[in-house]
Structure 1
Amino acid sequence: MKGIPMRINVLQHTPNEGPGMIQDWSDKNGYEMFIYHPYQFGYLPTADETDMLVILGGPMSPNDDLPWIKQERELIQELLNQDKPIFGVCYGAQQIVKTMGYQVTKSPAKEVGFAPVYRRDVKFLNIPEELNVLHWHEEMFEVPEQAQLLFSSDKVENQGFILNHRVVGLQFHLEPKEDNVREIVVNDFPYIKGSVLNQTSEEILQTKISDDNKQTLYKLLDYIIEK
């Protein structure tokens, strides 16, 4: 008799930033994915019905005084206490950090578009030393003392962290496929203005996504669910 598949609960925070390749990874492994939209409907899963939590990006800030944002952090804290895997992207990574009592502040540079990030001293993951990834942010997180710095960019040092074999937070986006990037750009192109990366919508859309991004994403996801 087959066991119950892993339940991955996803918190999505804007219509144009979905799970992308995280969904592909889930399907490939036979997991069940449930996508919640707390910004619109106000519902969140419970910790008990969550085997793994994915917290996606969005236009809001963890510093915003909204009830559902605080409720998300209550869920994150329960999962941290239970040592369950959590994967945070952009705003999602910031939410994890904020839950742990660390700061989310204005970034020294607004990064919107494709630019490299560099792996720091986390060689055990066997991931590339450099990746060309999608950035879409102007805030950044403080890396918790208990965590290891995972990635940095030329403009923003704190681009990723890993914590206790169970939690990964990324300030940038590994999850979008090319059609996902198109959806982000056509709906949120005004946000590109003021980016230090100085890319146009067309330049962003013409950038090919390396298979290294997918392989790195899969390795990170596999790593945090390992027993």
Structure 2
Amino acid sequence: MRVNVLQHTPDEGPGSIQDWAHAKGYQMYIYHPYQFGQLPTADDTDILVILGGPMSPNDDLPWIKQERELIKQLLVDDKPIFGACFGAQQIAKTLGYAVSKGPAKEVGWAPVYRKSDVIPGLPEQMTVLHWHEDMFELPEGSELLFSSDHLVNQGFVLNHHVVGLQFHFEPKEDNVWEMVVNDFAYIDGSVLNQSADEILARQVPAENKNVMFRILDYICEN
């Protein structure tokens, strides 16, 4: 199985998603379209992972539009797709739904609440890393998967093979440090009112990796 990862900024890598791919014995290829302009083909993709980034699906950049063409073809092919933050927004935009500013900027650690039992074994509440101020409109036919205290549409599942999350399960401790030391200016104005030091001091919950694995298993096995 070939896992193709679309990474959109140096400080938001695949984290525990790479651990999952290695544990499965899958090949992982990481693309950086924002820098090199290269994307995989649908035929070369068994599983697509679309990571976060500082850009918006509404930006008029050729590679962002090309990504959506790839997503569109994979949706037609019914192949597994996982999107985090910008990645989830790209999926929603591909399906014809709006991406816009949310009611509040969320940056830091805060709970999300499970809204569906479609993926077995997920806890009712999890503490996750938020790093966003935009939100996606929930695509028709999808099921709301998670909400937070400040944003209803925090995650969705579509046709059992597609999951988009506005927040991040995938970062490991080193990934969080990388995000904070490089993008600490973005923390300002967050409704969560956490400093860079406070974000760094919080350990990544061990269950987040387990949940990430469970979500990836689900979209690949159903």
Q: TM-score, normalised by structure 1?
A: 0.97
Equivalent in the alignment of 2:88: 93
- Code of the residue aligned with 1:133 in structure 2: it is V
Q: 1:42-83 CA deviation, whole Å, 9 max, x = no partner?
A: 000000000000000000000000000000000000000000
User: What letter matches 1:80 in structure 2?
Assistant: L
Partner of 1:206: 201
Amino acid at match of 1:72: E
- Match 1:41 to one of 36, 57, 61: 36
CA-based RMSD of the aligned residues comes to: 0.7
Q: One-letter code of the match for 2:54?
A: P
**Which aligned pairs between 1:1-227 and structure 2 lie closer than 5 A?**
6-122=1-117, 124-227=119-222
1:122, distance to aligned residue in structure 2 (A): 2.1
Give the Cα–Cα distance (whole angstroms) in 1 for the partners of residues 194 and 119 of structure 2.
34
Give SS of 2:176's match: helix
Gaps of 5+ in 2: none
In structure 2, distance between residues paired with 1:74 and 1:55: 13
Question: Displaced runs of 4+ in structure 1, greater than 3 A?
Answer: none
CA deviation vs aligned residue, 1:106-157 (integer Å, no higher than 9, x gap) = 0100000000000002255210000000000000001111100000000000
- Structure 1 distance, partners of 2:162, 2:206, is 23
Q: Give distance in 2, aligned partners of 1:124 and 1:16.
A: 29
Structure 2: distance between partners of 1:125 and 1:178? 26
Gaps of 5+ in 1: 1-5
Cα distance between partner residues in 2 of 1:123 and 1:137: 25
Q: In the aligned structure 2, how far is the partner of 1:124 from the partner of 1:189?
A: 33
Does the Cα contact within 8 Å between 2:119 and 2:215 map onto a contact in 1?
no
In 2, distance between residues paired with 1:122 and 1:170?
A: 16
Matched residues, number: 222
CA distance in 2: counterparts of 1:138 and 1:165, whole angstroms: 27
